[in-house]
Structure 1
């Protein structure tokens, strides 16, 4: 029993390291999004850091429209990035979890 507990603790430590490595890798995973008419394009990391914003010249003529485009497009990109991040981190955690009967944290 004690050996099983030590093995389980080791497995949990490995899982924690794997999750941390996955979180760090999310800084390199890029998610691209653009407005429906392609006038504004953005790229963010899966860890939700904005990397690029490309704005068509015609949007520069209307400040209010540009602001709307930025809000909509960035929110879509950040939502996608969050979904990628959550999925990858949960997968890393699930793969490393010991099989404890009755304890199903991730489905």
Structure 2
């Protein structure tokens, strides 16, 4: 019994390490998006950190710039969130021990 418990604890620690490694790796995954026919471009990491914002010189209207910026950031942050959730779920799932009664492993 204790061997099984010890093995489960080891697997849980391994899962935690995999999750932390995945979080670090997600800092290097870049998502690009745009709005206003490419007049506003943004780059964010899969962890939701804004890395770059590019605003075309063609845009002069402050309100238009703000609107396009919100659109572009929301689109890229939504993609980043989906990638992050999928990657972390996969990392956790792959590292979890097979505990009877829990259907974590499909």
Q: Provide TM-score, normalisation by structure 2.
A: 0.93
Could you list the structure 1 runs, at least 4 aligned residues long, displaced by more than 4 angstroms after superposition: none
C-alpha separation between the residues in 2 aligned to 1:79 and 1:106? 27
Q: Provide TM-score, normalisation by structure 1.
A: 0.93
Match of 1:39 in 2: 39
Match of 2:101 in 1: 102
Match of 1:93 in 2: 92
Q: Secondary structure at the match of 1:42?
A: strand
Match of 1:2 in 2: 2
C-alpha separation between the residues in 2 aligned to 1:49 and 1:74? 11
Match of 1:12 in 2: 12
C-alpha separation between the residues in 2 aligned to 1:42 and 1:11? 39
Do 2:35 and 2:72's aligned partners in 1 also have CA atoms closer than 8 Å?
A: yes
Provide structure 2 residue ranges, at least 5 long, that are not aligned to the other structure: none
Provide structure 1 residue ranges, at least 5 long, that are not aligned to the other structure: none
Do 1:43 and 1:52's aligned partners in 2 also have CA atoms closer than 8 Å?
A: yes
